Chains A and B, each alone.
Chain A
Amino acid sequence: MSGQMNKIEKQSWQCCKCKIPMSPGNVKITYLGNDFTIELLKCPQCGLTLVPEDLAVRKMLEVEQSLEDK
């Protein structure tokens, strides 16, 4: 899944707490006991991440549903 999930919106988001720009990094996500690593924008310091809308409502939804029927 990782290969398809790394489309990251180039937006100028920054972490409010750490006051530094977000940059691409690996993030672990999990559903129903299945773990995946995907590339997302995240805060290099505290690790706060950003899941873009498109990823959430399309690819993630698809994967969620296929895992639910496993």
Chain B
Amino acid sequence: MDHKQLRELEEKCTQGLPPACTTTCPVHVDVKSFLAEMKAGRFDGAMKILRKALLFPGIISRICDHPCQAACKRREAGDAVSIAALEKTCVRMSSIPPERISILTKKDKRVAVAGGGLSGLTAAFDLATKGYSVVLFESKDRLGGSIWDIPEEILPRDVILEETAVVANLGVEIRFNATVGENLSLTDLCRDFDAVYLGAGRYSQDTFNLQTSREGRILIDPVTFSTSQEGVFAGGGLRTGREYSPVLSHSDGKRAAKSIDRYLQKVSLYASREDEGPYQSRLFTSTKGVEPLSAVVPADPVQGYTREEAIQEAGRCLQCECLECVKACEYLAHFKGYPRKYLRDINHNLKMVMGAHTANKMINSCSLCGLCEEICPNNLNMGEVCKNSREIMVKKGKMPPSPHDFPLRDMQFSNGEMFALARPEPGQESSKHLFFPGCQLSASSPEYIVKTYSDLRKKLTGGVGLMLRCCGAPADWAGRKEHFLEARQEIVRLWNEMGKPCFILACSSCYQVFQNHLPEIEIVSLWEVMDRLGLPDVSTGKAGAGKVAVHDACTTRQEKHVHDSVRRILGRLGYEVEELEYSREKTECCGYGGLMSFANPELVRKVIDRRIKESETDYVAYCAMCRDKFASRGKRTFHLLDLIYGGGNSHLAEKKDPGYSQRHENRARLKDKLLKEIWGEKVEKAQGFAAIKLDIDDELKAVMEERLILVEDVQRVIDYAERTGNKLYNKDTGHFMAYHRPVSVTYWVEYSPRGDGFAIHNAYSHRMQIVGEVEK
């Protein structure tokens, strides 16, 4: 993923792009902001917005053919917003004088404009402000052209006179009664001027000896407005003919002036002119759930809207925007922007060498769950972007160490001798299958692993091996590619050694890792196996067991067969299944994915709270981390195995997350238990620091959990202090204080001897290193 790709991805997000009203307007009035000002009753502010796009707001607002309204999104829920009527009201009610127009330094080039109608006046206006000497030739004795045909009640004459006079005030020389093709030839103009704009109006039959189309109209380039003769440009009624539109003529004049300026400056006429004139908006806006409203009808149709009516009508504007993914994802909402902006920030962050990398936290907070891709009309996946960015940061040595240090060490623990295990079924030479429960289920509910493994051995022939370890998801999520590949390699080695068994996976994150990174290994989800082979005898269904709402794991978002198996199992257990609004391929992450909880604990609380509020019903999850996350914020949540092996006992839904220390302990004990009970091996008792007995009250336990300090970290500090004597003593309290830095974190423990162990009074840590401290 390089900077160019990031910019392409940015283009996928349409948020912030102009809505349909603006892109359909030939001069791109910022209708959305205009209506926001109107709604707020700030008519002067609204007027300022109009003036940015309309050079003759008094005229255009009164006669505009408003193509914007046909494109207005409001039509999907009621009538289009009455944009034209509101512009008219604004012009009538605002009294703010126009700002002074600034003119660029005089240039030595001269431009002739033929025709004083809307397009000619516009071209003359723009060219004069750009510093050119402009002479405008008008065949009548007044400016405005065909707008004089409009009835006076609609377009008062003083408005025409007042607004067209501005052009002369800009220094444009005006010659009346001069008609090109009659008392003035195009050849003369071309000789006397550096460029010519023909805006002779829709009634002009003259083609000035220029190349014409089959219908006999002058050939005009739709992008540059140039004609067959160099330096001669044309637009307005001459171009549109019978489809004449005042606002389109206004736009033509502007676009032609831009071309003439480029022509005289000798730069490309064509470069980046895609979004000129009317075009289709790319902004997606959902009108789902928007209450339909009809247009406000003015009480006095002749006078138009009153102030109150105008405010009400402007209030019907939807203020079009996309934000679909932001509405669905708490993470995207948390950083107060949207993907287009985030991608820009990320691009900047990755490019930058020195200075504060302010997007680090944002990049590391995403759960990588992929919901955004499902929601986005253009399938933008911010999770992929964040993961790639993490990999780049790691590669460049720019990844902050603190957010991922702890989960990576947790992974190391699970792949170390305390937990890792790979055995064929006792008495079997080979393994057709292998049960891979994963590190987190083993830590949350070790008792179910033993039961599941027994049942699988009963039901499957050909040998069911067992492998305890971590699949490597934390390294993958952390962007540590090499680290992950090491873990992957070890799994492949063991798999080969055991005769290439089919892996039975109980954890959704493992499933995703195997699916994406270990394609050589055949996998099946435990839920599919149970669905196919039947449930264990203990869990015979009892109809009317109750209702549960299924929370699908985000890591099996695309695995429909897994979703189906889970639901069939629930049905067989006698449960009625409630579907959450966000489920199956649209499910949400529980907050564990992508290591979000380590990078941004505050955000995780919001993510969990949002998910658990979606239904009052008890949840059932089939990933241990999802279950524990929800339970940690007070939501009654079962693990699917609680319903299969635990009989759906109500208290199981309230079981607390065991905490990081206990998770280690549970894994280690599970390994010992399995070795003893299944393989009949003798297990040695804990020795060294692990044998140190600690007394820690619940309050301090909670603090340690938050500070990511494990019981074993505390044991190590005490072991070190007691061995070396490097400790402090407080004679007032009788407490000792010591610190130790096993690898990258310095742990401090305040303790005192109690019984055959130690009472712990405080524990904290820092990553900064005290220079000269003893490393051991």
Contacts and interface: CB of A to CB of B under 8 A. Distances in A.
Contacts of B707: 57
Contacts of B739: 51
Given A57-B707, A70-B357, A50 B728 contact: yes
A36 B766 CA distance: 15
B726 A47 contact: no
Most B Cβ at <10 Å: residue of A12, A16, A22: A16
Interface string B488-503: 0000000000000000
B123 to A, nearest CB: 52
A38 to B, nearest CB: 10
Interface residues of B, number: 35
Interface string B357-380: 110110000000000000000000
Contact of A69 (B356, B762, B766, B767): B356
Most A Cβ at <10 Å: residue of B361, B732, B764, B768: B768
A16 B728 contact: yes
Contact of B356 (A11, A31, A48, A70): A70
A12 B769 contact: no
B400 A68 contact: yes
Contacts of A13: 728-730, 737
A23 interface: no
B583 to A, nearest CB: 37
Contacts of A28: 770-772
A49 interface: yes
Contacts of B728: 13-16, 22, 48, 50
B157 to A, nearest CB: 65
A60 B768 CA distance: 7
Contacts, number: 90
Nearest to B768: A31
Interface in B736-776: 736-737, 739, 746, 748, 762, 764-773
Main SS of the interface on chain A? mixed
Contacts of B762: 53
A28 B355 CA distance: 24
Nearest to B357: A69
A27 interface: yes
Most A Cβ at <10 Å: residue of B729, B739, B767: B767
Interface string B551-593: 0000000000000000000000000000000000000000000
Contact of B771 (A12, A35, A69): A35
Nearest to A40: B770
A32 B398 CA distance: 11
A53 B81 CA distance: 61
Contacts of B78: none
For this complex, into which size category does the number of interface residues on chain A fall? Answer: 20 to 34
A16 B727 CA distance: 6
Interface string B48-61: 00000000000000
A11 B772 contact: no
Contact of B730 (A12, A17, A35): A12
A4 to B, nearest CB: 14
A68 B402 contact: yes
B546 interface: no
A11 B769 contact: no
A53 B709 CA distance: 14
A52 B726 CA distance: 16
A60 B361 CA distance: 18
Nearest to A17: B725
A44 B390 CA distance: 45
A14 B731 contact: yes
Contacts of A65: 400, 402
B16 interface: no
A27 to B, nearest CB: 6
B222 interface: no
B401 A68 contact: yes
A70 B764 CA distance: 25
A22 B354 CA distance: 40
A52 to B, nearest CB: 9
A57 B764 contact: yes
Nearest to A66: B356
A15 B400 CA distance: 35
Interface string B215-245: 0000000000000000000000000000000
A43 to B, nearest CB: 8
A61 B706 CA distance: 14
Interface string B328-349: 0000000000000000000000
Contacts of B732: 11-12
B725 A51 contact: no
A62 to B, nearest CB: 11
A50 B764 CA distance: 12
A52 B44 CA distance: 60
Contact of A16 (B357, B725, B768): B725
B362 to A, nearest CB: 11
A56 B773 CA distance: 16
B729 A16 contact: yes
Most A Cβ at <10 Å: residue of B354, B731, B770: B770
B402 A56 contact: no
Contact of A31 (B360, B729, B736, B767): B767
Given A50-B728, A51-B748, A29 B769 contact: yes
Contacts of A17: 725-726
Given A16-B726, A16-B736, A29-B769, 7 more contacts: A28-B771, A30-B769, A32-B401, A50-B737, A51-B748, A64-B402, A65-B400
8 contacts: A12-B731, A27-B771, A32-B401, A51-B739, A57-B764, A69-B357, A69-B400, A70-B357
Interface of B: 354-358, 360-361, 400-402, 707, 725-732, 736-737, 739, 746, 748, 762, 764-773
